[in-house]
Amino acid sequence: MELKYEYYILATPEQVWQTLVSPEGTRSTFFGTVLNSTLEPGAAFEYVGPGNDGENTVHVYGTILEAVPGKVLRYVEHPGPSYRDNHAELESRVTFTLETVGNCTKLTLINDEWTENHPSLANTQGHWWMMLSNIKTYTETGKTLDFGWS
């Protein structure tokens, strides 16, 4: 299964990159989480933020495969330990590609290489639309979308 999304954002690839990796950008667009990583190939990463109990929790973690500022961010991810007992066995690959098109940036997201019967696939299909819409809005305006969640 491959999930593929394309968005055009009125910003430079460097501005979109900052939204994807900076604490302010990820907190605003990735459901309140911060990306912790050196972003070097082979390095670990984790998205950490408020959990259901209000405490910080690891929502997603994994390994950086490639990180070229303003160009590509690729990693293998696992759901956080609080979501699934077998979290280490469940994985998929995420690739963000940034490309200049006219006066904007084409953001392509491919989420593939899913572990067979991965229980997060259905939720992920719906959540990427929201996150990508928020990435676009935040990068262009500095504001986030309100999805009505508390």
State pLDDT tens for residues 103-138: 999 999 999 999 998 988 888 888 899 999 999 999
- Is 149 part of any domain? no
Cβ neighbours of residue 16 closer than 8 Å, sequence gap 6 or more? 9, 70, 98, 105, 107, 135, 139
Give the count of domains, the chain.
1
Domain that holds residue 93: 3-141
Q: What is the CATH number of the domain that holds 46?
A: 3.30.530.20
Question: Taking the model in full, what pTM does it have?
Answer: 0.92
- Is 146 part of any domain? no
- Is 32 part of any domain? yes
- Is 7 part of any domain? yes
| % of residues, the chain, pLDDT over 90 | 69
For 42-59, how does the pLDDT look when each residue is reduced to its tens digit (9 = 90+)? 999 999 998 776 678 899
Report helix, strand or coil for 10.
Answer: coil
Burial of 32 (0-12, 13-18, 19+ CB in 10 A): middle
- Region 69-86: mean pLDDT is 92
DSSP assigned state of 16: H
- Is 148 part of any domain? no
